[in-house]
């Protein structure tokens, strides 16, 4: 008697797998300071271990006469290793000899991600093949159709898991609770599988008791998991910054907020990234951070002779808002993305900042700053951006040409734009010189006049009315005195201290001359002349200088080179001698892809020639497996392109990553379903070749559409475009897997071996694509290049299939030519 298919177990495998993937991604991003370069590495580690697990599962399935015990064992292992992995992630920094607060290197990120994700991902890969075998035995099939059905239902489960995480779990459960719930639901789905006595899923009394015990286990465990969550956070911050004490944490839709204290100073982090520090309300004197805020605010406010309407993006809670409120302004629009940050910070803010938040002239808006600038109808005299350096793609959005254009459109005639970035004396260091020069040149493409000032922190002043801005201490001091304001610890004489003439000439000469020669991004700024002219003379001579090398010194949403230089700078600053990998990656050229294309083409040609001489047509295996590899690479490259694009425009991938992946998996499920339902003979290379042509066409289409999507009006249509493209990327990938598995089965008559081989090699290709696209191509060559990489991989697979020139069916018929 046939038993019913393991549909619920496969569905929950997909859901649990997606929940685990998003949880691990978010947790690792917090450890890696939100560095999106690590997204590709994390996904690569996930994929390689799941692929290895599928190959291991295929080997175990062949040797195992009854997989039920192994299935139970692996499912229980998932329940154990999901929370254990989260604990290990939070303690990762204890395994590396890094300074408190220092960034982990790319080598450290890669090593830690690959090690910590191994156990859970191996078990997930094994479970896929085991459930595929169970499905095949339940349906009585001898081909790979059961594998296609398993692939389809798992993809549907992935979609459900992504939706559940985005709209439910992230709001109501902590990471440990979400992980345990996913593991319990998977175990319940396996245990509840009905069947006849003596079959793979015979109903036994112990199993029934265990099934009904699961709700009791959850009810007892969940309160304890909250305590475990807090203990894990304390452990994490103890290793991250030993001198600070964790005061509290709060889960927000935009990330986990942590408040740490050192003596009378409070420091705020979100998703592992430093936001700001401030002296506490009971501090006897303002801290150094307060002094920085005062200097920044006063230098910014006097850049406009009479600012009435001011837009402040970030920085208000660290003291800027109270300083701006001292000036005779009429309105200050203060943008702070996360309302939870505002609430958690209030008990630790100074009285002046709390008073400024209650000022009738201040309008506090909780929204994304970039989105506000893009859609606002108001106009401003002064726009001040006080955000952390562009160490992530989210923050890089405020340092790009697209943002500067949007900000310029909000300024009244003669309005002033102010932004700042960390610096070093005389711009010493290749990375910081490249980054700050890039900010300058990018601003100069939008505004007619740009001035820079500052040593530890470089401020950029930009306007289209030249006389508005100045770095002349006498002019700025006079403007300050005319307003008749009193600031503790700041006087008109401070402008002379903050704007020394020699330093102004040095930095203004450097940012104007650097970035104009071939290879400047590798060689660094030219040597300063012995005699430096005044800043006004430097401005006059700038128009006669060679053009800027735009590829390396213009920062944009779709080529975030400023973000790359910032990572390189922090790597140099915190881990001396370990930044060589960044410098080498800067040498990357688009034509380097050519050898990687020629190698498989040459291999296919040689194999075909050898097959022709021997009279054996056994070269299809190479073509099919390479196609599976290319499909995984293309799919992941497109997914990285979509994630980075969404991040660049909207800036909340941390919040929406589950939904984005759910949309991709929905497309994957539909593509697999269409192939399963409507393609009778799947073992044909011409159909497989057609799927690669479809992937290539879609990738080229995405490369063309992505840069234009951000400018689409109305703005509400933009997410729809991104989701549609993400869905289409999943759809084309889903079409390919059943075809590849069926073609490979004609060579290998063991269904589980064929399933494991194709699934594993596809995941390996996705792993390679994640690293290549996420950590190399996107930051150096641009996001569009990720789509072109996907197209290149698909076209190469198509060419390999055409060189092969045979279908899997032909091999069964003495390899007659198709």
Query: Catalytic site residues?
Result: 386
Burial of 598: CB neighbours in 10 Å, binned 0-12, 13-18, 19+: exposed
Give the separation between CA 791 and CA 694, rounded to whole angstroms. 10
Cβ neighbors of 618 (< 8 A, separation 6 or more) are: 611, 747, 811
Q: Whose CA is closest to 499, among 443, 466, 543, 461? A: 461
Burial of 618: CB neighbours in 10 Å, binned 0-12, 13-18, 19+: middle
CA Rg value for the chain: 29
Residue that has been written with the tokens 């290990």 in this structure: 88
Residue that has been written with the tokens 């139970």 in this structure: 72
Give the separation between CA 317 and CA 335, rounded to whole angstroms. 11
Dihedral sign of CA atoms 238, 242, 245, 251 in order? negative
- Measured from the Cβ of residue 153, the count of other Cβ atoms closer than 10 Å reads 25
Q: Are 779 and 641 in contact (CB under 8 A)?
A: no
DSSP string for residues in 348-407: GS-HHHHHHHH-TTEEEE-S-HHHHHHH----EEEEEE----S-SHHHHGGGSHHHHHHH
Phi and psi based region of residue 204 (left: phi greater than 0; alpha: psi -120 to 50; beta: remaining): beta
Residue that has been written with the tokens 């692929």 in this structure: 51
534 — phi, psi (to 5°)? -60, 160
Q: Which residues pair with 418 in a beta bridge?
A: 384, 461
Sheet containing 245-252, strands listed edge to edge, beginning at the edge strand earlier in sequence: 245-252, 255-262, 265-270, 273-279
Torsion angle, CA of 459/464/468/469, rounded to 10 degrees? 20
Q: Determine the straight-line distance between the first and last CA of the chain, rounded to whole angstroms.
A: 42
User: Max alpha carbon distance in the chain (Å)?
Assistant: 95
Q: Whose CA is closest to 17, among 156, 134, 112, 135? A: 156
Q: Which residues pair with 450 in a beta bridge?
A: 462
Q: Whose CA is closest to 386, among 377, 405, 399? A: 399
Give the separation between CA 483 and CA 490, rounded to whole angstroms. 14
Q: Which residues pair with 252 in a beta bridge?
A: 255
Dihedral sign of CA atoms 731, 735, 741, 747 in order? negative
Q: Whose CA is closest to 320, among 366, 281, 362, 381? A: 362
Q: Whose CA is closest to 543, among 449, 628, 479? A: 449
């Amino acid at each position: 008697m046939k038993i019913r298919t393991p549909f619920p177990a496969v569905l929950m495998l997909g859901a649990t797998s997606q929940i685990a993937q998003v949880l691990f991604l978010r947790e690792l991003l917090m450890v890696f300071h939100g560095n999106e370069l690590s997204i590709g590495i994390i996904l690569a580690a996930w994929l390689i271990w799941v692929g290895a697990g599928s190959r291991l599962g295929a080997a175990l399935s062949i040797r195992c006469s009854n997989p039920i015990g192994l299935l139970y064992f692996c499912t229980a292992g998932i329940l154990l290793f999901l929370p254990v992995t989260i604990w290990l992630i939070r303690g990762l920094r204890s395994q590396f000899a890094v300074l408190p607060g220092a960034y982990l290197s790319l080598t450290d990120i890669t090593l830690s991600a690959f090690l910590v994700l191994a156990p859970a991902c191996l078990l997930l890969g094994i479970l896929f093949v085991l459930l595929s075998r169970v499905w095949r035995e339940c349906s009585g099939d001898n081909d790979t159709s059961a594998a296609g059905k398993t692939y389809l239902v798992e993809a549907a489960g992935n979609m459900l898991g992504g939706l559940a995480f985005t709209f439910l779990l992230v709001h109501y459960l902590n990471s440990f609770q979400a992980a345990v719930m996913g593991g319990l639901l998977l175990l319940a789905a396996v245990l509840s599988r009905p069947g006849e006595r003596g079959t793979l899923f015979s109903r036994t009394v112990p199993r029934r008791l265990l099934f009904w015990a699961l709700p009791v286990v959850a009810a007892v465990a969940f309160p304890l998991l909250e305590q475990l969550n807090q203990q894990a956070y304390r452990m994490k911050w103890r290793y991250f910054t030993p001198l600070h004490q964790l005061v509290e944490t709060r889960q927000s839709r935009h990330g986990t907020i942590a408040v740490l204290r050192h003596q009378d100073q409070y420091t705020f982090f979100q998703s592992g990234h430093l936001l700001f520090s401030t002296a506490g309300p009971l501090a006897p004197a303002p801290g150094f951070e307060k002094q920085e805020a005062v200097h920044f605010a006063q230098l910014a406010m006097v850049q406009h002779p009479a600012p009435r309407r001011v837009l402040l993006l970030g920085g208000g809670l660290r003291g800027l808002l109270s300083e701006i409120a001292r000036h005779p302004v009429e309105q200050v629009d203060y943008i702070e993305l996360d309302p939870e940050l505002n609430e958690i910070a209030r008990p630790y803010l100074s009285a002046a900042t709390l008073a400024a938040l209650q000022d009738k002239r201040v309008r506090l808006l909780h929204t994304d700053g970039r989105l506000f600038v893009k859609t606002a109808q108001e106009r401003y005299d002064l726009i001040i951006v006080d955000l952390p350096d562009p160490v992530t793609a989210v923050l890089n959005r405020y340092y790009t040409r697209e943002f500067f254009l949007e900000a310029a459109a909000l300024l009244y005639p003669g309005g002033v734009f102010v932004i700042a970035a960390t610096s070093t004396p005389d711009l010493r260091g290749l990375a910081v010189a490249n980054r700050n020069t890039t900010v300058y040149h990018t601003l100069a493409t939008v505004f007619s006049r740009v001035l820079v000032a500052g040593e530890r922190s470089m401020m950029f002043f930009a306007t289209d009315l030249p006389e508005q801005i100045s770095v002349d201490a006498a002019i700025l001091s006079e403007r300050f005195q005319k307003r008749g304001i009193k600031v503790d610890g700041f006087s008109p004489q401070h402008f002379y201290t903050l704007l020394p003439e020699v330093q102004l000439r040095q930095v203004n000469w450097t940012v104007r001359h650097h970035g104009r020669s071939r290879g400047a991004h590798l060689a660094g700024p030219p040597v300063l002349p012995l005699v430096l002219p005044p800043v006004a003379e430097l401005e006059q001579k700038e128009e006669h200088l060679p053009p800027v090398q735009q590829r390396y010194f213009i920062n944009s949403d779709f080529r975030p080179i400023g973000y790359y230089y910032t990572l390189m700078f922090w790597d140099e600053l915190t881990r001396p001698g370990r930044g060589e990998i960044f410098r080498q990656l800067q040498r990357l050229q688009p034509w380097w892809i050519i050898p990687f294309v020629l190698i498989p083409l040459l291999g296919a040609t040689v194999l075909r020639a050898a097959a022709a001489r021997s009279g054996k047509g056994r070269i299809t295996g190479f073509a099919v497996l390479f196609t599976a590899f290319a499909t995984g690479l293309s799919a992941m490259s497109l997914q990285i392109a979509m994630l980075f694009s969404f991040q660049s425009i909207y800036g909340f991938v941390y919040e929406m990553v589950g939904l984005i992946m759910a949309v991709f998996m929905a497309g994957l499920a539909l593509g697999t379903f269409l192939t399963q339902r409507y393609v009778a003979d799947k073992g044909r290379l011409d159909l497989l070749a057609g799927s690669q042509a479809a992937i290539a066409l879609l990738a080229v289409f995405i490369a063309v559409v992505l840069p234009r999507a951000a400018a689409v009006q109305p703005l509400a249509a933009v997410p729809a475009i991104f989701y549609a493209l993400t869905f289409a990327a999943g759809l084309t990938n889903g079409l390919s897997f059943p075809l590849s598995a069926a073609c490979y089965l004609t060579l290998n008559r063991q269904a589980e071996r064929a399933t494991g081989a194709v699934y594993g090699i596809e995941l390996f290709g996705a792993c390679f694509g994640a690293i290549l696209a996420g950590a190399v191509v996107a930051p150096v060559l641009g996001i569009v290049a990720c789509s072109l990489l996907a197209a290149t991989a698909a076209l190469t697979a198509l060419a390999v299939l055409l060189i092969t020139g045979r279908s899997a069916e032909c091999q069964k018929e003495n390899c007659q030519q198709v």
